Amino acid sequence: MRKRRVAILGSTGSIGRSTIDVVRRLGDRFEVHALAARVSSRRLTGQARRLRPARIVTTDRRACQRARKALGREFSVEWGLEPLIDIARSPKVDILVMAMSGTVGLLPVVAALEKGKRVAIATKEILVAYGQRVMALAGRHGGEVLPVDSELAAIHQCLRSGNSKEVKRVVLTASGGPFRDRKIPARATVRQVLDHPTWQMGRKITVDSATLMNKGLEAIETSRLFGLDPHQVEAVVHPQSIVHSFVEFADGSVIAQLSDPDMRLPIQYALCYPDRLPSPIRPLNLLKTGSLDFAPIDTKRFPCYDLARSALRSGPQATCALNAANERAVRAFLAGRIVFHDIPAIIRTTLKVQSSGGPKNPTIAKLMDIESSALSTAEALVNAAGGN
């Protein structure tokens, strides 16, 4: 059996590193053809020496120069967006793992799907901002989009018990983030916000977990990925993070997916589907886990969840604007330019400024314009908030 060749875009982040671990453990089935990162040249060069991929790319020119200097003539290091697109459409790549944050990976995802490839997508922002068009491309060209996300991968597995026409509702679970059981400090620090009780993730998604925007983004992703109406998608707080999602079918049956929290499981699922292979994750011990608790999301404490649900009901232009505003507000918070409580206010105002009118199925080009406009609006609001 020929090994399947994998391109990992975003190899130096937490998802990328876990993907490398999965691929190395399943070395009889997979090999790494390409690695790409933004600016983490030191970690990227270490990965290159271990895995010896055919192609190495950075999206930052100075990071590329550093990587070239460190690796010498033994490796060729490219930089920019075009090499990523070329890798995505290359016949030498079977699976594209998209783990770059934000929407920088949109065009490589489009290129892979146009060639009928499997895209294992860990980047929420692409499906949130461009999900309708991305899924339409996949359907038109025979491509596959499999989620590298514990909750959406759980739904994908549960749906193997039925089909989308038989689904009554889907329920996502949320850990609740660092402020689940305590009052959100008036001036919460970056360190407090990044102190997640369950998962070790990147900084941006950890902030989204603290605001519960991540669950709103997942609701949008779920609707786009599985073709569900907004009213069919719900979310609850589940502190133990053992039940990753469950699906209720028309006959009243509820199918859930449970496991210890370990991102290597959804990564392996996306790479190996439809096969199931032994994995390194710890076996689930429900006797040791004890009770499994569930609670509704307090939308007064976590307004970002409702903002995302409202945008989903409004349509793709609103979800695109929401994603852009959230990205800019979170970046500003991490840089110390705004306080934590400014995040939902900036998103709310951006959505008001960016009208949700227009075509029901905007093109990718139109959505890119909306994203750019929303980013500008949110940046102006960040500047205003930072001056107060």
Tell me the CATH number of domain 4-147, given options 3.40.50.720, 3.90.950.10, 3.20.20.70, 3.30.1370.140.
Answer: 3.40.50.720
- What's the pLDDT tens digit per position in 108-159? 999 999 999 999 999 889 999 999 999 999 999 999 999 999 999 999 999 9
What letter does residue 8 receive in the DSSP assignment? E
Euclidean distance between CA atoms 18 and 195, whole angstroms: 20
Q: What pLDDT score was predicted for residue 337?
A: 95
Are the beta carbons of 88 and 96 closer than 8 angstroms?
Answer: yes
Give Cβ neighbours of residue 330 (< 8 Å, ≥ 6 apart). 204, 207, 208, 343
Answer whether 327's CB lies under 8 Å from 286's CB: no
Q: Element (H or E) spanning 257, and its range? A: strand 254-258
Q: What is the pLDDT of residue 303?
A: 95
* Strand, helix or coil for residue 228: coil
Q: What DSSP element (H or E) covers 145?
A: strand 144-147
Asked if the model's pLDDT at residue 196 lies above 80, the reply is: no
DSSP character string of 179-196: TSSSPPPTT--HHHHT--
Sketch the domain layout of the chain as residue ranges: 4-147, 150-310, 315-388
Kindly write down the DSSP assignment for every residue of 146-185, as one continuous string.
EE-SHHHHHHHHHGGGS-GGGEEEEEEEE---TTSSSPPP
- Please spell the DSSP secondary structure of 259-294, one letter per residue: --S-THHHHHHHHHTT-----SSPPP-HHHH-----
- Mean pLDDT, rounded, for 296-301: 93
From the list 15, 208, 5, the residue with the least C-alpha distance to 99 is 15
Q: What is the pLDDT of residue 40?
A: 84
CATH of range 315-388; options 2.60.40.10, 3.40.250.10, 2.60.40.790, 1.10.1740.10: 1.10.1740.10
At 227-270, the pLDDT tens digits run 999 999 999 999 999 999 999 999 999 999 999 989 999 999 99
Is the preceding omega at residue 91 within 30 degrees of 0, hence cis?
A: no
**387 falls in which pLDDT band (50, 70, 90)?**
low
Segment 157-176, tens digit of pLDDT: 999 999 888 999 999 999 88
d(CA 55, CA 93): 11
> Is 200's pLDDT higher than 90?
no
* Residue 309 neighbours by CB under 8 Å, 6+ apart: 216, 219, 230
Residue 163 has a pLDDT of 83
Q: Is the pLDDT of residue 19 over 80?
A: yes
Instruction: Name the residue type at position 239.
Output: P
pLDDT tens digit string along 328-372? 999 999 999 999 999 999 999 999 998 656 677 899 999 999 999
Q: Report how far residue 362's alpha carbon sits from residue 82's, in angstroms, rounded to the nearest whole number.
A: 24
> pLDDT over 70 for what percent of the chain?
97
Residue 52 has pLDDT above 90, yes or no: yes
- Furthest-apart CA atoms within the chain: distance in Å: 62
Contact between 168 and 250 (Cβ < 8 Å): yes
252: left (phi over 0), alpha (psi -120 to 50) or beta: left
Task: Give the C-alpha separation, 117 to 138, whole Å.
Answer: 9
Alpha helix segments (H runs only) across the chain:
14-25, 41-51, 61-71, 81-89, 106-114, 124-141, 150-158, 190-193, 203-211, 213-226, 264-272, 286-289, 303-314, 316-334, 342-353, 364-386
Q: How confident is the model at residue 74 (pLDDT cuts 50, 70, 90)?
A: confident
Q: For 279-297, how does the pLDDT look when each residue is reduced to its tens digit (9 = 90+)?
A: 989 999 999 988 999 999 9
Q: What average pLDDT score do residues 77-90 get? A: 96
pTM: 0.93
